[in-house]
Amino acid sequence: MAENLTPNTATRRRMPQIELLRAIAMAGIFVFHLWSVVPNVAENGLIGRFIGVASSFGYLGVVLFNFITGFVLALPYLGPEQRAIPAYPHFLRRRFKRIAPKYYLILTLWAGVLLVSGKSGSDALLPDYLTHLAFIHSIFPTSFFSIVPAYWWLGLLAQFYLLFPLLLRFFKLFGAAGACLLVCVTSWLCWIALDRISHPGSPYALVNYMFYYNLPARLPEFALGMWLAEAWHCGGSDDTPASPPRRALISVPYLAFVGAALLFAVAAGTIVHVEILPLRHICLVSFCLAAIVAVLMLKLSRRLGQSFVVAKFAAASYSIYLLHQPLLGYANRWLGNMLPPPAEFSLLLAVVGAASFALAVTLDKSVP
């Protein structure tokens, strides 16, 4: 999702590590949706179990994208450039113009396929389509998984866009570290409290379920990306994204925080069995945060991010996201049970992966 989530072309060129993270995130989401249509691949030997378990964590690509979105949006304002806070209408107009044209085109395509195939009744399809056009589908239980389930994230992305100029002012006022900490503590404590009262049959159960896919539950991931944009600047006054310094790019206090988060994640994942969803999610977010910081600091990540294959895949990631899930679903139905699960998994990975990329590149050329 490179061109659609990066504030400007120059910033995008200067951050090969971010391009690598985009490629990793999109690959994770793709294999997760592939595993969701071929889940019994995990029942076929040791290799099948490994593929199944690894693919089942691919949904964390969304967490990576939330970090990346916060980082690239905040970098011009909290990083070395220290730009003035953007005007709210101008920012929203510019951001939605970057994501809406392709989204509306592909949304209409898949809605039309559903209508023609009879997979969805026209009475339900029209309201769902309209909520998607308004980017509010993720807040309604009846529509947030409709048409294309993966599009729920675009509703969350719209929420990030709507909040960003206000959140940026909050970061400027209270400092990035303090503002990020306050956002994380407030959001996660509210989620934990809601989860505690959301017993089966409780009227809060559905609210808790939807909370996971919207703000404020997912706001900490975005806010941590913004804080990371400010921490990147701490490498020194001469550091720029275009020419990263040879020493550590992240400040020592931030690295200490990341180390503490990783320690919590390891402890929560091994020593203490965490069953509460908010705490499990915080644990996984901590792992993702540590992984992102590691990728940003490794010289190898910069070289990989500059490679032709990674750059091309990252540039097409937004269009791949829009196209891939229905392609996987329809291809899986067409194959039926003709192949063993490992063979089907491999075939869909190769064929639908190549088709998604090719169609994404065509879409990017057709709709700038």
Cis peptide before 216 (omega within 30 of 0): yes
Using DSSP, state whether 150 is helix, strand or coil.
Answer: helix
Global pTM reads 0.89
Q: Does residue 119 belong to any structural domain of this protein?
A: no
Has residue 7 been placed in a domain?
A: yes
Range of lowest pLDDT (67-71, 261-265, 353-357): 261-265
Choice among 113-127, 204-218, 303-317 with the minimum mean pLDDT: 113-127
Q: Does residue 42 form part of some domain?
A: yes
Confidence of residue 121 (pLDDT cuts 50, 70, 90): low
Tell me, yes or no, whether 38 lies in a domain: yes
222-242, pLDDT tens digit by residue?
999 999 998 885 444 344 444
Q: Distance between CA atoms of 5 and 71, rounded to whole angstroms?
A: 10
For the beta carbon of residue 118, count every other beta carbon within 10 angstroms: 8
For residue 24, what are the domain limits?
Answer: 1-58+316-368
SS (H, E, C) 23-67: HHHHHHHHHHHHHHHCHHHHHCHHHHHHHHHHHHCCCHHHHHHHH
Distance CA 84, CA 232 (A): 18
CA–CA dist 230, 254 (Å, integer): 10
**Structural tokens at position 112:** 């039309």
Q: Is residue 15 part of a domain?
A: yes
Q: Calculate the alpha carbon distances from 330 to 74, 103, 348 in Å.
A: 38, 19, 11
- The span from the CA of 327 to the CA of 317, in Å, is 15
Q: Rounded to an integer, what distance in angstroms lies between the CA atom of residue 90 and that of residue 44?
A: 53
At residue 5, the pLDDT reads 47
Structure tokens at 86: 């953007």
What are 159-211's pLDDT values in tens digits? 999 999 999 999 999 999 899 999 999 999 999 999 989 988 888 999 999 99
* In a domain? residue 347: yes
Token couple for 303: 């070289």
Is 340 inside any structural domain? yes
- pLDDT per residue as tens digits for the range 87-98: 999 999 999 999
Tell me, yes or no, whether 32 lies in a domain. yes
**How many domains, in total, are found in the chain?**
1
Q: What is the pLDDT of residues 324-348, one digit of tens each?
A: 999 999 999 999 888 999 999 999 9
